Structures are given as C-alpha cells and as structure tokens.
Amino acid sequence: MHELPEFEVYTPSTLRDAVTYLSAEGSGAKLLAGGTSLIPRMKKRGISVKRVVDLSGLKGLHYVRRTGKTIKIGGLTTISELVASDVFDERYDCIRALGRLFGSQATRDMATVAGNLAAGEQGDLVQILCALDGKVVVESANGRRLADPTKPGLGEDEVITEIQIPALQGPVSTSFGKFDKRKGGGKGVVTTAILVRSGKGRTIEDIRIVVSGARGRSIGRARKAESRLKGRVADAEAVQRALDALKSEIEPAGDFRGSSRFRKEIAGVMVKDGLMHCLDRLRGGSPTYGRRE
C-alpha cells in the first residue's frame, strides 16, 4: 500500500455547483462520496487521479423516505443509514441483510449508496435493485435521467443523486446472500438477490432471481429458473426444476477466487437458500439467511 498521490480537491456546497464544475472543469475528475472504494484504489495506484470532487458537503442527499408508491433514497445515504431506516419492514430482508454482509461496521458507516452503485457490478446494491425493480436517478448540468442500475452509463459530468424503488405491496418476501472466502467482506465470490410474490393457493405470482456472474462477470436474472416457479406451487419438485434450470443457464467467469464450475455450484446452493428464506417468510416463519464462508 502506497501513500496517496497529490491531487486537487473541489468541495461543492450544492448539487448545482457540483454538476456545473464537472461540466466545465471535471474531465478526468473522480467523485468522492464515502471514500471506501476510491481511496484504497488510489493508494494502490490502481487509478491515476488529478482532481477529486468531494461530495460530502451536499447534505441534501441524505434521506430515505416513501413518497406515494415509491421509496426514494438519497445518493449520499450511508449503508448504515439505509439499513436502519424504518421505511423498510420485513419484506425488505434483502436490504436489511446489508447490515450483516456489507463489510465492517466502519465501512457501512462511510460507504454511500451512490458510491456502491458507481462501482458497477462489484457493488451489492446493483443486484438488490434488480430484484426490487429499482431505478437510479442521474443528474448533470443538462438535467436528470432515470437509468438501469446495471447500466447507468455514467458520463464524466454526471452524479448519481437518488435511488427509486417501487414500494412493495401485499405478500412479498426478499433475500440477499453472499458467499465469501474472507470475513469482513468485500466483493462476494457469489452473491444472489431474490424476490418472491405469493399468489392464490400458495402459488408464486411473481419471482426475480438475480445472480452475480450470470454471464461472465455480469449480473443477470435467471429467467429460465424463474419460469419453472412462476405460476406454480413452490414444492420440492418445482424448486429442484428451477435449480436444474439455473445451472444450465448461468455461465460465470472463473478467476483466482473460484472456477466457473465452483461458482455455478455455489450459486445453486445460494439460490436454494434464498428461495427457502423467502418461502418461509411468506408462510409466517422467521428464517435466517446470509453469508456463507
């Protein structure tokens, strides 16, 4: 680990100041929110940075609130603030799980939702938002736009300012799980996010199964697995058919932390655990689910 290289810092006091600066002067600038990703990369010389825009002065971007049928989360909300919000009941176990699975307490106190999303598919929130059908609000000097969390397409002059999630209605359960070889948690070897909505007669009305490395290193939905359960009663046979479909459709990339075959096997275990968690919740149980090591 090296010392930080020299760089210029600009600390805007408003969002307008920030996007105006990025539009006029920000070529090559990096945004600093919690610093849990950027600072270690700079120390390791993983990236070369000449200018840093410190967003810590934008106090108006700390919030979690429900507006009508939408939950809105400010971009500078920390992971700890997100997890502690009383907006989320037991249906949002996928978010509550971050209190156990997202690094250390110190990291959760610093890391922001915008920073985690800006990290791309290495961030845990991307999968969770895919399961919840969430969107990302991106702003620049030219205005704002809604973006898919997996492909925000951030330009050098853009800032993630908000997350928008449709408020869950009716009998719904969610889960988020992470398999990691190390305690304290960075990026998981395999992570999964699942949403299950119950229908009439204990059938599954809707389901989303999101897996890291579904194709190569990209996050994606396991739609074949979903189709084996949607509209059906989730008995042992149906769940097994879904798991068989999962293994046939995902093709994770391998690396020094795990081969493609290893990740595929672990994904099957994680998805089964997540499904059982959601189904137990919907049947009135209080299951526990989270990190595997």
Condensed to tens digits (0 to 9), the pLDDT of residues 44-96 reads 555 667 788 889 888 899 999 999 999 999 999 999 999 999 999 999 999 99
Q: What is the mean pLDDT of each run of 10 residues along the chain (293 residues)?
A: 71 92 80 70 63 86 96 96 96 96 91 87 87 96 93 88 96 94 70 95 94 88 97 94 96 90 95 96 69 46
CATH 3.30.390.50 fits 172-292, yes or no: yes
For residues 177 and 274, is the Cβ–Cβ distance under 8 A? yes
Matching fold, domains 8-57 and 60-166: no
For residues 39 and 2, is the Cβ–Cβ distance under 8 A? no
Q: What is the CATH number of domain 8-57?
A: 3.30.43.10
Q: In this predicted structure, what is the pLDDT of residue 188?
A: 83
What amino acid occupies position 81?
A: E
Q: In this predicted structure, what is the pLDDT of residue 293?
A: 43
- Domain spans of the chain? 8-57, 60-166, 172-292
Q: In this predicted structure, what is the pLDDT of residue 291?
A: 47
> Looking at the whole model, is its pTM more than 0.75?
yes
CATH 3.30.465.10 fits 60-166, yes or no: yes
Map the chain to HEC letters. CCCCCCCEEECCCCHHHHHHHHHHHCCCCEEECCCCCHHHHHHCCCCCCCEEEEHHHCHHHCCEEEECCEEEEECCCEHHHHHHCCCCCHHHHHHHCHHHHCCCHHHHHHCEHHHHHHCHHHCHHHHHHHHHCCEEEEEECCEEEEECCCCCCCCCCCEEEEEEEECCCCCEEEEEEEECCCCCCCCCCEEEEEEEEECHHHEEEEEEEEEEEEEECEEEECHHHHHCCECCECCHHHHHHHHHHHHHHCEECCECCECHHHHHHHHHHHHHHHHHHHHHHHCCCCCCCCEEC
Between CA 80 and CA 164 the distance in angstroms is: 18
HSE toward the beta carbon, residue 7, CA cutoff 13 A: 23
